[in-house]
Structure 1
Amino acid sequence: VLAGLLEERYPGRRFVGLNRGVPGLTTTAMLRTLPDKLQVVRPGLVTIMAGANDYNDQLNGLRPARESLVPAFVSDLRVYKMTRLIFELARSDVKRENGEILFYRHGASKNILYEEPKDEEKITRVTKDLRTNLVEMIRLCRQNGVSVVFVGYIQAIEENAVLSAVAAEEGIPYISTFIHLHERPPGLFGEDGWHPSPAGHRHIAGKIADALGDFWP
């Protein structure tokens, strides 16, 4: 989507966009794979939208996943994993279209920013680690001669505040895609209410394409 929009705005130039985002990753996990991605893809520009999963108490290891009654030597077997996946995908909260899985919710987790009462010590610790990881991502991109911009979420105020603050401190662009709740058109999100729908992705791509003209390398 983004590459097509950029080619419309910059006639005569060719753009290739590669989506290397993986749902559910924290910035710690992203940081482990970023060096290899930079070496393999060798991009001219990297856009990073990150941080929300860091505040997810289960994805970030802040709360252990539900304990299994199945012994470890059984749960490690490939046949067990395949059987479990088949049963998981047969559940009612899996949506398919033409055989493709569009939405899949597994387990339950919470965002510590919105829990009551708030655990301020935990939030402070996660925010510190998040900022450290974001700064390291910028350093790695610069080390590889790659321009980098941070992109905010459509609906995450506190997470966006961390992204924009680090971007300002490090002297890189920050692109806001935020829309206030009462101004959001319908259909921007998938069934989970968080991940963007195709319309949401078009909104994000449009904001990025509009902003790149101010600092295109």
Structure 2
Amino acid sequence: MSDLLDATGLLVPHHRLIDLHEDSVRPGAGPTKIETIAQTDDVVRRADELQYEHHEGPCLQSIHEQETVYSPDLSHEQRWPSWARRARAELGIRSVLGLQLFVGPTSLGCLNLFSDSPEAFQADQRVSALALASHVAVAMAAEQNHQDLNSALVNRTIIGRAEGMLMQRFDISADQAFAALVRISQDRNIKLHLVAADIAEKGIRPDLFD
């Protein structure tokens, strides 16, 4: 993601204070967990910490309300008074642009740009930043899909190993072995791949079928 932050700096010249937030819980899945997954420097890191500390700020508003947030001058910002005051006084931040990251209907997070100048993000720069935000969102979605695929492949390999052990021990078919894993998973209220990992690591024990 650092390459994408560099690209944002090129598209929005002279404003290199950038960070990227991931909304790791999707709408409808309970309380939103927000974490910073990339940032350009310590000023941005501290700006994030202040948002989390005060429970207010451009990133939080952008993610919770699923909207683009623009503040041309924090000296006059009333939406996040505590954060704006400290960001301006302690970090020298004067303007901020927060952009939602969407892929279809799914919100993935927020891209924030900060500047030490007021009125820093003019209309043409905001358009460029919006265009880049769409590319960042696609890249994040692709990375998540890649991770999900890798995880699925690992889990399938572990389940296959456990199936093989059950087939050999009890002289049963692959379907019967998988059904046994499912039954253990349901009886113990443990995810199937964790049951399989336990068998693959510790072997087949009598207590598995209690």
Task: Please confirm whether the aligned pair reaches a TM-score higher than 0.5, indicating the same fold.
Answer: no
Structure with the higher strand share, 1 or 2: 2
Normalized against structure 1, the TM-score is what?
0.24
Q: What TM-score does the superposition give when structure 2 sets the normalisation length?
A: 0.25
Q: Which has the higher helix share?
A: 2
Find the structure with the greater CA-based Rg. 2
Q: Which has the higher contact order (CA 8 A, sep 6+)?
A: 1
